[in-house]
Amino acid sequence: MKYLPAILVGRLVRFAVRLVRKGGGSALPGLILSKIAPGLLASTLSRFKDGLIVVTGSAGKSTTTKMLVGIVRAHGKNVFTNPSTANILQGFYSSIVEQSNLFGNIPGDVAILEMDEGHAELLTRKISPRQVTVLNVMEDQLDRFVDPAFVRDTLAKVAFRAREAVILNADDQNMLILNEQEPSLIGLSWFGLSGEVLKTQRHGLGTAPTFVEEIKRPTVNSEVVSVDGNRIVIREASQHSVELPSRGLHFAVDAVAAFESARRYLSNFDPELAAKSISQMPPVFARGQIAQVNGEDVEFILVQNPGSMQLNLDNLTTKPEQIMFAIGRDVHDPSWLWTVDYSGLSHADIVAGFNAAEAALVLAYNDVPIGSVVYDLDDALQAFFSMPKPKNGYKTVVFSADAMRRMRRTLGFWSPEEDVA
Amino acid sequence: MTAVIRLFPSRLNLNGDQANALVLQQRAAWAGLNIDVIDHEDVSTLEPITTRVQEGGEPLVVILGHGSRAAMASIAHLKSQIENFLALCKEKSHAVLVIGSSTEWLLEHSKTERVSEFWSGFIRYEGSEFEVFGYLNSEASLDAVWVDGSLLYTLLHGPVLAKSSGLADYLISRLTGKDTKSAKTDEILNYELAAIRTARGQ
């Protein structure tokens, strides 16, 4: 009963906002709820009988969480999770507005949440997670985090709050440094890519370099041992073939992280069922997803930091004929655009978004031919989708998170379930 | 041979700082001029490039970029060598651009509250005045830009010269003795000015 008035207010606000903007209205209720009922989140999350599982790190959180949730559900568990992009505190409150009853209760055995690095540290002060998966540390959001070492220190705090299990990436030296802290992490296990697989990635996995003597890689519990297009093989006790939802080695990392995380949580873990579950997963929006716009296929690629930009550009296996490159308002300091090797980007037909000028500047200095720079995103979309269908392949849109959200609204790809933050 | 020397470019590139060399090289190339970029990655010694500066007569621009705490720690043992090298560059009138955390590292300062913002201002550099633009994220109690002879220290990070093309062209003219104006630099100027307007919220 304690939270009934607050939840009613949240729902009323959500209803009002959605009257005005179709597909929107999810961020404000969460923000209001976090102010008027700050204890609600920890209270709600503490009621799941199997507790809270956290997936965090610089990159790959959304896909890994979706894969993990899929595996756990396939094993018969009822899961509460947050939509991709709703991985900060107000997003969690928004999810409660969406999914709880009037008393703040959400049905389910377990909560599996992807969490922004900073917000994971804040939330786990109030509720100790059962299990924490840390994917990586990248040179990401430096205007906010300043230095990758601060991110690593923050993630270490989250990992050390786990009650039963911690799952780390053996191919990120930052994780190995994190593991050197005292006391020992509880229930530690590792996931990773074999040396042979790692060698195929020209720029590595994009994790933040540590510039110290390399720490010996630990024995890995779940490992990707081969990659052939979208098909990978994960070796645990035995080998399991998995079809990734999209191409790219970063998806292989996400898959093996989800696989190992599920193995640690589920007492009835069936590796074949886990592999099948990942293979059946539809792509997370804009993580290499092919969608239909005006009757033609379009590939959407989300880039959020130097690592994800580099990995995605390196994995443009087909040379797209038509490319839109949109960098939005979420990139507060676009300096990081200048750390990327653009040799994998043949051209950009349209450069768009709030930071279009900076994007055009960096592409021009890197000799990437530019068709036009269109500052208004809606105009840019109209221009791009007015282009005739490419002779081969499909149109490709590379965009940052803000440009993605705006584009989704304009194109009608809205989903209250997914578009919360 | 005119050259830009980048010190530890793979380490000191946290915010794309090494792209300052790209800006100089490309602007020169668009004007038909050649500038070599020489990378010094060896963290055991600065001797080869120190010798080059001592013996060579060609004009140089040296770039010391912005690195993470880990990167700065990895070159900490070279601090006195770097200070001596910069003093030598100043004596020989070679231009040096010291960026972000390298400026904090080399200049004595106290700490204040961290500031993260877009910065613009005028500087006098060797008798000429330039407008400088860039992003700043620092807690050091230092001026955003500080000039000591031919050495230019800035707390700004990233590709400062990309949005401060007047200064970039001045450095190129020091290196080559020639003007860099070209059709491409005119085209780029539009992007540059628009990027500055965006960063300023205009």
* A66-122 confidence digits (pLDDT tens): 999 999 999 999 999 987 667 888 888 888 888 888 888 899 999 999 999 999 999
Q: How many CB atoms lie within 10 A of CB B186?
A: 10
User: What is the predicted pLDDT for the residue at A317?
Assistant: 66
- Give every CB contact of residue A1 below 8 A, 6+ residues apart in sequence: A103
Shortest alpha-carbon distance between residue B187 and chain A (Å)? 9
Closest Cα to residue B163, out of A201, A115, A331, A361? Answer: A361
User: What is the predicted pLDDT for the residue at A420?
Assistant: 31
Q: Is B182 exposed, middle or buried (0-12, 13-18, 19+ CB in 10 A)?
A: middle
Task: Find, in chain A, the residue whose alpha carbon is nearest to that of B20.
Answer: A338
Asked if residue A415 has pLDDT above 60, the reply is no
Measured between CB atoms, does A358 come within 8 Å of chain B?
Answer: yes
- Whole-angstrom CA distances from A18 to A5, A37, A81, B42 are 20, 22, 22, 59
Asked if residue A220 has pLDDT above 50, the reply is yes
Residues of B in contact with A335 (CB under 8 A): 15-16, 135, 157-159
User: What is the predicted pLDDT for the residue at A416?
Assistant: 40
Q: Are B158 and A338 a contacting pair at CB < 8 A?
A: yes
Residues of A in contact with B119 (CB under 8 A): none
- Give every CB contact of residue B173 below 8 A, 6+ residues apart in sequence: B179, B180
Residues of B in contact with A144 (CB under 8 A): 116
Asked if residue A280 has pLDDT above 50, the reply is yes
User: What is the predicted pLDDT for the residue at B173?
Assistant: 95
User: What is the predicted pLDDT for the residue at A239?
Assistant: 97
Shortest alpha-carbon distance between residue B60 and chain A (Å)? 21
How many whole angstroms from its chain centre is CA A50?
23
Task: Provide the token pair at A381.
Answer: 């979309």
User: What is the predicted pLDDT for the residue at A361?
Assistant: 98
User: Lowest-confidence range among A180-189, A340-349, B79-88?
Assistant: A180-189
Q: Are A146 and B114 a contacting pair at CB < 8 A?
A: yes
Structure-token match 């004009």, residue found: B59
Residues of B in contact with A364 (CB under 8 A): 184, 187-188, 191
Task: Find, in chain A, the residue whose alpha carbon is nearest to that of B157.
Answer: A335
Question: The dihedral of CA A256, A258, A264, A266: what is its sign?
Answer: negative
User: What is the predicted pLDDT for the residue at A7?
Assistant: 84
Instruction: Report how far residue B80's alpha carbon sits from residue B83's, in angstroms, rounded to the nearest whole number.
Output: 5
Average pLDDT, chain A: 90
| pLDDT tens profile B32-90 | 999 999 999 999 999 999 998 988 778 899 999 999 999 999 999 999 999 999 999 99
User: What is the predicted pLDDT for the residue at A17?
Assistant: 80
Shortest alpha-carbon distance between residue A143 and chain B (Å)? 6
Asked if residue A276 has pLDDT above 60, the reply is yes
- Whole-angstrom CA distances from A273 to A74, A193, A366 are 7, 21, 46
What one-character DSSP code corresponds to residue A218?
P
- Whole-angstrom CA distances from B133 to A130, A142, B12, B97 are 47, 18, 20, 14
Shortest alpha-carbon distance between residue A110 and chain B (Å)? 38
User: Lowest-confidence range among A137-151, A152-166, A254-268, A305-319?
Assistant: A305-319
Task: Provide the token pair at A66.
Answer: 């979706």
Strand partners, A399: A302, A326
Residues of B in contact with A139 (CB under 8 A): 14, 68
Task: Provide the token pair at B161.
Answer: 């010269």
> Which of B74, B157, B162 is facing A361, going by the closest CB pair?
B162
- In the sheet with B95-99, reading across from the earlier edge strand, the strands are B36-40, B3-7, B60-64, B95-99, B151-154, B145-148
Measured between CB atoms, does A42 come within 8 Å of chain B?
Answer: no
Asked if residue A284 has pLDDT above 80, the reply is no
Tell which phi-psi region holds residue A76, choosing left (phi > 0), alpha (psi between -120 and 50) or beta. Answer: left
Structure-token match 């593991």, residue found: A179
Q: Are A339 and B15 a contacting pair at CB < 8 A?
A: yes
Residues of A in contact with B114 (CB under 8 A): 146
Amino acid type, A334: P
Higher pLDDT, A10 or A27: A10
> Which of A139, A362, A364 is facing B14, going by the closest CB pair?
A139
